[in-house]
Amino acid sequence: MKSFIYFLTIIILLSACSQKCDTPQVKPFQELNKTVCETKPEIEAKILFESLPKTHLLESDFSKLPNWNAENYESALSSFVESCRTPRTQAMYKELCAKAKHIKDPKKFLETEFSPYAINTDEGDDKGLLTGYYEPHLHGSLVRTSRYKYPIYKTPLDLIVVDLSEIYPNLKNYRLRGRLEGNKLVPYYTRKQSKSEHLRAQVLCYVDSKIDRFFLEIQGSGRVTLRDGKTIYLGYDNQNGHRYRAIGRYLVSIGALKLEEVSLQSIRRWLSENPKRVDEVLNYNKSLVFFKEKQQPATGSLGVVLTPKRSVAVDRHYIPLGSMLYIDADMKEKRFCSLVLAQDTGGAIKGAVRADLFLGYGKDAMKIAGELKAPLKLWILLPKQKHNKESS
């Protein structure tokens, strides 16, 4: 038993140990421009609730939420009711989920039943980063051809996933992924190795662009139009266990792009203009995502269909899936303030004041998502009764 524990410890430290959240990766350029906060709130944020053991909060009220009176309360409440179909949201908001179905005055309901708390980083900053993601559209075939030759794989049969919390409770949010080599568990094939090694995985379909396939992995879900005109929906199913690495960062390191130039559009343009170096750049990200066919469009980690500009991906170490949030983002052209639901997660979404806004499907959504990097303030709306009781 001791040797087994030592073995697992070594594996955790040296091999691919990925977070438990079965989540898609996120655009490679998103983590490049972190917002630097110059000021801190006068009152120090603290960990207030046992149910949020890592989240520093500052009690607030609705009058302090920017543009709160301009919110579309009916639309926001509708998204909340949809989110309440999931066990996680029900566990967090309980009777409020039932009440929300029969509300005639959404604004009064929100202000009466919920309390907003400003979220701060571990360092006490109240500002973070908002980015965006979208549902990509690819073209493909169910059979391999000279044009459609890049496979999108199901989860391999030999991929082993170990829930470390079953052995170490303090590693609750982590899973270990690998494959057996004899009687040893070793790291699973990297992106580069998967080209030469035979993956024991079925192919969902073949697409006509390895670049489009890569960005499908980054977004985590998408739709593929087949040669006969039929559309299939693909969603994240698993990952090879290697840590996500941003190719935008790599392009900056080799002098291909300047830091301030990095966006989805600039990365795609550089790859298109340098076809001989595409594999080199894509292989920098050793992480490889596996998919499953779905019956509906983009669905987040919470299990509901994502709603443009109402669904966000968060770091669930700090923000529970199913949470109702309020965001205030200072975009270039306008200020974006809105109630949103934490319905997804992402491999590159790290930190308390960090969110990735789902922007929908199509070229317009891709353009906005590719350019969105905005300073962010974030509030979580908690049920008054529950958290008043817990804090006391």
pLDDT value, residue 152: 96
For 90-111, what is the mean pLDDT?
A: 95
Record the tokens describing residue 78, joined without a space. Answer: 């509708």
Q: How confident is the model at residue 388 (pLDDT cuts 50, 70, 90)?
A: low
pTM of the model: 0.77
Q: Is the pLDDT of residue 49 over 80?
A: yes
Mean pLDDT (the chain, rounded): 87
Rounded to an integer, what distance in angstroms lies between the CA atom of residue 267 and that of residue 48? 42
Question: Mind listing the pLDDT tens digit for each residue in 51-88?
Answer: 899 999 999 999 999 999 999 999 999 999 999 999 99
Q: What percent of the chain has pLDDT over 70?
A: 86
Lowest mean pLDDT among 190-199, 264-273, 298-307, 337-346: 190-199
Q: Is the pLDDT of residue 43 over 70?
A: yes
Q: Is the pLDDT of residue 209 over 90?
A: yes
Q: Is the pLDDT of residue 93 over 80?
A: yes
Q: Is the pLDDT of residue 7 over 50?
A: no
pLDDT value, residue 179: 94
Question: Mind listing the pLDDT tens digit for each residue in 135-147?
Answer: 999 999 999 999 9
pLDDT value, residue 69: 96
For 195-217, what is the mean pLDDT?
A: 91
Q: Is the pLDDT of residue 156 over 60?
A: yes
pLDDT value, residue 170: 72
Fold for 2-391, please state it: Ribosomal Protein L25; Chain P (2.40.240)
pLDDT value, residue 386: 56
Q: How confident is the model at residue 22 (pLDDT cuts 50, 70, 90)?
A: very low
Strands 114-120 and 160-163: unpaired
pLDDT value, residue 270: 97
Q: Is the pLDDT of residue 21 over 70?
A: no
Question: Mind listing the pLDDT tens digit for each residue in 115-131?
Answer: 999 999 988 899 999 99
